[in-house]
Structure 1
Amino acid sequence: MYIKKILLGIVILGLIAGGIFAYYVYQAVFSPNTSFEKETAALYIPTGTTYTELIEEISPLVDDIYSFDRVARRKGYMNNIKAGRYILKKGANNNEMIDRLRSKNSPIHVTFNNQERLENLAGRVATQIEADSTSLVTAFKDSVFLKENGLSKETALSMYIPNKYEFFWNTSAAQFRQRMLKEYKRFWNEKRIKKANEIGLTPDQVMTLASIVQKETAKVDERRRVAGVYMNRYNNGWKLDADPTVIYALKKHQNNWDTVIKRVLYKDLEIDSPYNTYKYAKLPPGPIAMPDISSIDAVLNYEKHEYYFFVADIENFGYHKFAKTLSQHNQNKKQYVNWINKQGVKR
């Protein structure tokens, strides 16, 4: 009888201990364990992150890091850390958070436009994905890659079509470049290639001319007309005489890309550069900036007209006055020069 009571007591104590243990396990696994107030919080896990580093990174986002650690170890997460961007939800428990960290890498939207050089593009992209600007520039300028895809260091910028793209945050420089090549080929579909052929330009030449149009006018509704002026000059063997190409040539010559040039001087037109369209009657060797899609399509669908000249319209800022003859253009230009002199713009 006495032994039965002892055994019964042991069983009862075991049940109590088991219940307590089960309670703590339940609490550790299924109780809410987030500490942030907003509905979600983003956790960025860099490539190569160790478990110790992960614990340090997630600590500010959880109430009880010790329970998180116990559950993570039990689920084998410490040996299965994956880089990426993970969205944690307010009130999530350890089990939910660990499951998300194991399989729910959340994509981001990467955007870029109007970049002047590959270096500027790399800097812009590096603020949005894990790859740094140095690795991106190296990937962009890789000579083997460029040669394999019919590009050069002068035309390489053409491959990056401004838009909004979905990427995983932990995308590498090489992966980003490869995706952009895919998007470039998708952009230059049969329809656009046919249009380029019809106007006598290659896709690279279209991109180069589009970059000039992009720099000449910020008004999307004016770009087809500006493109028409340059196509009239180009088709008739004229020099393009485009001020933005001179500005680009000056910056490149001085290796000073931060300088701001508001006014092109006559002496600037003498700079000996293949980008100086006042000196050479052909397209520059590559784009002088990153044209957006509206500028590219403006060239492919340029307005057919008889204009050969244009100058800024001081009565309708942002737009231009167009002329068919040099004499008419000189009258328009005189108004602009008088206005800019009054503004005191010397450079």
Structure 2
Amino acid sequence: MYINQPKKPFLKRITADNKKRTIVLASIIVFILVIGGAFLYGKSLLEPVKKDSKTTVNVNIPSGSSVSAIADILKENNVIKSEKAFQYYVKYKGASGFQAGYYHLTKGMDLNTIIKKLTNGGTNYAFQITVPEGKQLTQIASAIAKETKYSEKDIIAKLDDQTFISKLKKQYPDTITDDVLNKDIKHPLEGYLFPATYPFTDPDASLEDIITAMIKQTNSYVETYKSSLEKKKLSIHDALTMASLIEEEATAKVDRHKIASVFYNRLEKDMPLQTDPTVLYAAGKHKDRVFYKDLKIDSPYNTYKNKGLPPGPIANAGESSWDAALNPDKTDYLYFLAKSNGEVVFTKTLKEHNKAKEKYITNKDSE
């Protein structure tokens, strides 16, 4: 008699084989995920700490530093994500010859960029502050804050501090005078921080030292132009104020000495200067254009409502504006206006000025 054999053991074998295949397949997937994850993680360690960041981080690499020590310094300053990743990458790239010095890095730099800088060599200064021409004190405070540990609020407070200003008066009596203490002045040292690049070798330079370096540079120009100031019977405060107006009104295509002539001609005729930058300074705003409603602002800086120079400078001024303030052209011009392309039209009468205004501004606005 033929008896059917039970199929159950066969099914068990199939089930067991399926389990094995499943376990193997799962293991392969996990392995791939682990390897892939490790690769992605490792790749991320080579990327910038903060992509697109342009804030300068000043790093000092001492002489004789090993790759390991350099990695620790970079991590401590938060310009790399991992010390080990940096060391492995340096070895992988075969990079060597790293040099001592100060390096001005950013969190937006990748390892390739950092390694290249370390190979090329650093600077002999811990940090530097660049102060462009035509900048107001609040903007300069921002530039200082960007390169140092000091906040804008602390910098402004120091710049306005009467004790510090008294100290500067004693140190630079020809430059910092009682004129800066006028009650109508917004910031006593506005216009006194000379536009230049200032390197500092001490990474912990005090705020007073930083500001004093800028005042010292202004003082050197005061000494240079001392005879011109005396000849023109112009105080340093008024000279800086005039230079700041010229700086703020000037474009790349204008003769600053002609602008100076207009301002001096108007002062001589007891006419208000009517310069738009003073209105914007009074309002504390940065705008491309001044409207008639802006001209009504009640402020001693508003040269549409007040005759003469404003209480003090409205920005810092470069050497070309200084020279224009002390050596204006001899002209009969009383008006000027800037065309859209930056060129400036000078006129002698209000009638000529209005014609130029209609031709170059009013008609342009209606297009």
TM range (shorter): 0.5 to 0.7
1:21 corresponding residue in structure 2: none
1:90–1:248 Cα change, 3 Å: closer
Tell me if the contact between 2:129 and 2:197 (Cα under 8 Å) persists in the aligned partners.
Answer: yes
The structure with the larger Rg is 2
Structure-1 residue corresponding to 2:193:
160
1:184 maps to amino acid? T
Q: Given that residues 196 and 202 in structure 1 are in contact (C-alpha distance below 8 angstroms), is that contact kept between their aligned partners in structure 2?
A: yes
- Is 1:270 the counterpart of 2:296 in the alignment? yes
Q: Deviations over 1:259-295 (max 9, x none)?
A: x241331x33232211111111111111222222221
1:282-328 deviation line (CA, Å, top 9, x unaligned): 111112222222212211121111111112235xx212111112222
The structural deviation recorded for 1:57 is 1.8
Which of the numbers 204, 207, 214 marks the counterpart of 1:170? 204
- The answer on whether the counterparts of 2:262 and 2:334 sit within 8 Å (CA) in structure 1 is yes
Match of 2:317 in 1: 291
Residue 334 of structure 1 aligns with an amino acid whose one-letter code is: E
Residue aligned with 2:198, SS: strand
RMSD over aligned CA atoms reads 3.5
Q: 1:163 to 1:220 in 2, by over 3 A?
A: farther
Counterpart in 1 of 2:244?
211
Matches within 5 A, 1:177-256: 177-189=211-223, 191-219=224-252, 221-249=254-282, 251-252=283-284
**Match for residue 342 of structure 1?**
366
SS of residue matched to 1:201: coil
1:238–1:147 distance in 2 versus 1, CA, 3 Å? farther
Q: Which runs of 5+ in 1 are unaligned?
A: 1-35, 37-41, 46-50, 65-83, 92-99
The Cα of 1:146 is off from its aligned counterpart by 1.9
Distance 1:172 1:303 in 2: 42
More displaced 10-residue stretch of structure 1: 301-310 or 124-133: 124-133
Note closer, same or farther for the CA distance 1:313–1:43 as it changes in structure 2 (3 Å cut): closer
Q: Which amino acid aligns with 2:213?
A: R
Deviations 1:33-85 (A, max 9, x none): xxx9xxxxx8626xxxxx9x859527739749xxxxxxxxxxxxxxxxxxx94
Identify the match of residue 335 of structure 2 among 284, 309, 312. Answer: 309
Task: For residue 188 of structure 1, give the secondary structure of its aligned residue in structure 2.
Answer: helix
Contact 2:194 2:217 (C-alpha < 8 Å) held by counterparts: yes
Q: Could you tell me which residue of structure 1 aligns to residue 131 of structure 2?
A: 112
Gaps of 5+ in 2: 1-45, 47-56, 61-68, 89-100, 106-113, 170-176
TM-score by length of 2: 0.61
Equivalent-residue separation in structure 1 for 2:260 and 2:250 (angstroms): 10
Q: State the aligned residue count.
A: 260
Q: Structure 2 residue aligned with 1:131, among 143, 150, 166?
A: 150
What TM-score, normalized by structure 1, do the two folds share? 0.64
Identity of aligned residues (%): 29
The one-letter code of the counterpart of 1:305 is T
CA–CA separation in structure 1 for the residues paired with 2:187 and 2:151: 22
How many Å apart are 1:220 and its aligned residue? 6.2
After TM superposition, give the deviation of residue 232 of structure 1 in Å: 1.0
CA distance, structure 1, for counterparts of residue 115 and residue 356 of structure 2: 63
SS in 1 for 2:345: strand
Q: In 2, distance between residues paired with 1:56 and 1:116? A: 35
Shift of 1:192: 0.8
Structure 2 residue matching 1:120: 3-state secondary structure: helix
Q: Distance in 1 between matches of 2:58 and 2:338?
A: 49
CA distance in 1: counterparts of 2:254 and 2:276, whole angstroms? 20
